[in-house]
Amino acid sequence: MEIESYSQLFAKFDDRYQSGIFETGDYKWRLVFYPNGDKKSNASGHISLYLAIDDANNHRDNNWSVYVNFKFLCRTRTRISTCPLKAKGVVREFNRRKKEWGCDRLLSLEAFMEPSNGYHVNDCCAFGVEVFVIKSTGCGETLSMVSVEPAESTHPWEIRNFRNLAYAGSQYSESFTVKERKWRIKICPMGDGSEMGRSLALYLILDKEESPQPNRKVYAKFKLR
């Protein structure tokens, strides 16, 4: 935001000035400039500068929020530099209740008008802002334990002619439901894995219809008897 004829425009200007809309991070923004300080913040004798998210943005609902890392810039006679108090940038949450963030006392008018500081040269000055919108790339998950009464969760499986199953491979029970999940019991009469031929193997497994979504897991506390 470059301002020419500063003294003529703002010497006795008690209101605020809003810049035109600019876009960054898929959002529309404005700079809000108080040349003689934001009176509501008791900032008389200073320059106040704020970053505002514009009402022209289309948000999905009233609970929207935008996290932004930003810092204000000011042009001096020789270079563009970060303004005092904001050199490292700050992270703020913009939402329906808080649409403006900034600095009440960005620069004192005395420091701003001092020629040796180079902020105000030939009655011209320039202010800006670097805006970095922080977008979430993570995901959350919820882990809960569902309690089940023993009478509801006990499932007997009677196997007839077990001797004939010795070489029949893995066997599966009919599916049964516990708390909206379908399960089966798997038995390997001759053992499984490294215990093949040495032990009987018994498992509780989810029914094929209950395969969890990719990267999802189901934990169960159970006893096999």
**Do 161 and 68 share a structural domain?**
no
In a domain, 223, yes or no: no
In a domain, 75, yes or no: yes
Of 84, 106, 134, which one is at a domain's C-terminal end? 134
**Do 170 and 94 share a structural domain?**
no
Taking CA atoms, 214 is separated from 26, 35, 142, 191, in Å, by: 31, 56, 15, 29
Q: How far apart are CA 39 and CA 47, in angstroms?
A: 11
Of 77, 105, 134, which one is at a domain's C-terminal end? 134
CA trace torsion 191, 195, 198, 203 (10° rounding): -30
Range with top average pLDDT, 47-61, 69-83, 198-212? 47-61
Work out how many domains the chain is built from and give that number: 2
**Do 164 and 113 share a structural domain?**
no
**Do 113 and 15 share a structural domain?**
yes
In a domain, 221, yes or no: no
**Do 156 and 108 share a structural domain?**
no
Which residues lie across from 51 on neighbouring strands?
Answer: 31, 101
The whole domain housing 176 covers: 150-210
**Do 164 and 125 share a structural domain?**
no
In a domain, 177, yes or no: yes
- Output the pTM of the full model: 0.58
In a domain, 222, yes or no: no
**Do 93 and 182 share a structural domain?**
no
In a domain, 139, yes or no: no
Query: CATH number of the domain that 52 lies in?
Result: 2.60.210.10
**Do 85 and 180 share a structural domain?**
no
In a domain, 26, yes or no: yes
Q: How confident is the model at residue 192 (pLDDT cuts 50, 70, 90)?
A: confident
Q: How far apart are CA 15 and CA 36, in angstroms?
A: 8
Tell me what the pLDDT averaged over the chain comes to.
82
Q: How far apart are CA 181 and CA 211, in angstroms?
A: 10
Q: Assess contact for 114 and 107: CB atoms under 8 A.
A: no
Q: How far apart are CA 66 and CA 121, in angstroms?
A: 36
- List, for residues 98-138, the tens digit of each pLDDT value: 999 999 998 899 998 888 888 888 888 888 898 999 886 66
**Do 154 and 128 share a structural domain?**
no
In a domain, 84, yes or no: yes
